[in-house]
Amino acid sequence: MFASVVRNQGQRLAARASCFAKHNPVVCNSARSHRSLFLPRAKAHIVSQRLIAPLNSSHARITRWSSYQSSPLKLRELCTVGLNDQHRLRHSSFLRRELCVRLAQSAAQLQCLPHGWAKQGVFRKIIDLHGDLIQALEKCASPETVAQDDKFADVLEYICKDLKTAGKVSTTLQGLQELTADLNDQAASVPLQVSSQVNQVLLPFFTLMTGMQFLIQHYMESRQGRRLGFSGILQLNCCPSTIARTAAHDSSSLCKSALGRVPEIIVKGDVCTTLTYVPAVLQYILTEILKNACRAVVERHIHCQDDELPAVICNIESSANGLVIKISDRGCGMSTQQVERMWDFMYTTCKHSPWTCAKTVQARDKPKPQSKVLAGYGVGLSLSRMYAQYFGGDLVVSSKEGHGTEVCVHLCHSAVCEEVLPEKFLFDPPLLRCSSKEEAPSKENEEFAHWEHPLVRSHVEDATVTCSPM
């Protein structure tokens, strides 16, 4: 039934486009000329949408580019970007086209927010900014020389700064917090009735934003020359046990500061194992998990001041395709309801949520500097799983109330690891439909002839990953 509705609507749009072309041949010729400047040949059901949409508007750019399929890259291919100028120029041509697609798709995802939120507050600004960034890429020549590549790098630096601001997780979720306040008085979490819709939009949006920041920063770092043990932002022999010990130190400090006590964190197993990964991303994931584990242990044994707290165990095990990091605690565990909502953005079991505190401070007009907190934002686990899955891995949680929790972080070797991107849109908003497959570029669009990739210091701030060396 759904397919029938889409097909009928497509036929009506095609009929309207045909009638429009018959009575406005000059305008349609101009439309075809404009489209040929930047785009591969599109499928028939997309053409009518592009003729109807205003050609120079931000919405039209998002409509055009969101109809193309994104192209995930393998980590081993990304490691070759900085080998020489030829490799980098080929990657630059691919990157110029690919960023247009991902910018449009991430903006289109936000269009699917419920209650018309896409037209309000921070979300409207983010969508408009995406259209402007696409325009900047369209105006930039596809790099064929080192000089053109230098200009392209300047454009990417400008784009990266805007993405860090517009796509910052804390900024996005703060905007969501303000909009949901009218629906529910409990500002510490998204209302249950809209939680599913919000998560279906935010997860692919944050995945696409992470992918864009990762590709841009890797490209920029690759231009700076080779660092020992790194290719761009990828650390070729990243040692998870070293990252785990750093995360354990940070988590212990936060727990001690917030709760006055902290359990011992033991890192054991295959401590010499290495793989290609982004250290800052892995450190963020492990820190979030270890913070939760430490808090759970302390809260369960809060009345046993003289007893030694049970240790949190971080065990590293090699696997056929990579490795598994198992973090287990003997804390409070989670109820069935908590497990069901565990991956919801902004859902937290913490009684004193920073979201609530921030709202109270804002109401009193007494802003305070933002500081690190142990828990309460409700984004740590959701983002950690998203980062793990983006790099071909996963994050799996098993918990039993009153007994404890075990979290398994699965990481892939670079030989089999590639970006995991949203395959399609979850909804079908007007003029923002995604074609299932991509057609090859036509001869009249030679500037995108290399859109398929010819080959083959991240920074984590607050809840935002801007990607690092693996």
Residues 6+ apart with CB under 8 A from 373: 254, 258, 354
Token pair for residue 185?
A: 């008085």
Alpha-carbon span 413 to 300, nearest angstrom? 37
DSSP 79: T
pLDDT higher than threshold 70 for residue 71: yes
**Highest-pLDDT range among 76-80, 273-277, 371-375:** 273-277
| pLDDT recorded at residue 197 | 83
Assess contact for 395 and 329: CB atoms under 8 A: no
Alpha-carbon span 321 to 410, nearest angstrom? 9
Q: Residue 415, Cβ neighbours under 10 Å: how many?
A: 12
Assess contact for 286 and 244: CB atoms under 8 A: yes
Sign of CA dihedral 21, 22, 26, 29: positive
Q: Which of 288-292, 358-362, 391-395 has the lowest mean pLDDT?
A: 358-362
Q: Considering only residues 42 and 68, tell me which one the structure prediction assigns the higher pLDDT.
A: 68
Confidence label for 49 from pLDDT (cuts 50, 70 and 90): very low
pLDDT higher than threshold 70 for residue 12: no
Alpha-carbon span 123 to 181, nearest angstrom? 16
pLDDT higher than threshold 60 for residue 379: yes
Assess contact for 338 and 303: CB atoms under 8 A: no
Token pair for residue 391?
A: 């790099």
Q: What is the mean pLDDT of residues 224-231?
A: 85
The single-letter code of the amino acid at 380 is: G
Alpha-carbon span 221 to 281, nearest angstrom? 16
Please choose, from the candidates 22, 70, 69, 17, the residue with its C-alpha nearest in 3D space to the C-alpha of residue 47.
17
Q: What is the mean pLDDT of residues 261-276?
A: 96
Query: What domains lie within the chain, and their CATH numbers?
Result: 1-52 (no CATH), 234-412 (3.30.565.10)
Q: What is the pLDDT of residues 20-46, one digit of tens each?
A: 444 554 444 443 333 333 333 333 334
Query: Which phi and psi angles does 461 have, rounded to 5°?
Result: -130, 130
pLDDT higher than threshold 90 for residue 338: no
Q: Considering only residues 443 and 23, tell me which one the structure prediction assigns the higher pLDDT.
A: 23
Confidence label for 182 from pLDDT (cuts 50, 70 and 90): low
| pLDDT recorded at residue 195 | 76
β-strand pairing of 275-277 with 312-318: unpaired
Q: What is the pLDDT of residues 127-146, one digit of tens each?
A: 999 999 999 999 999 999 99
| pLDDT recorded at residue 275 | 93
Task: Tell me the percentage of the chain whose pLDDT exceeds 90.
Answer: 46
| pLDDT recorded at residue 424 | 58
| pLDDT recorded at residue 192 | 62
Confidence label for 349 from pLDDT (cuts 50, 70 and 90): low
Alpha-carbon span 271 to 243, nearest angstrom? 10
Q: Which of 108-117, 270-279, 451-460 has the lowest mean pLDDT?
A: 451-460
Cross-strand pairs, 329: 405
Q: What is the mean pLDDT of residues 431-441?
A: 35
| pLDDT recorded at residue 345 | 80
Q: How many CA atoms lie within 13 A of 174 on its CB side?
A: 15
Q: What is the mean pLDDT of residues 69-85?
A: 88
pLDDT higher than threshold 50 for residue 147: yes
Q: How high is the mean pLDDT of the chain? A: 76
Q: What is the pLDDT of residues 412-422, one digit of tens each?
A: 987 788 999 98
Q: What is the mean pLDDT of residues 327-356?
A: 76
Q: Which of 78-82, 259-263, 344-348 has the lowest mean pLDDT?
A: 344-348
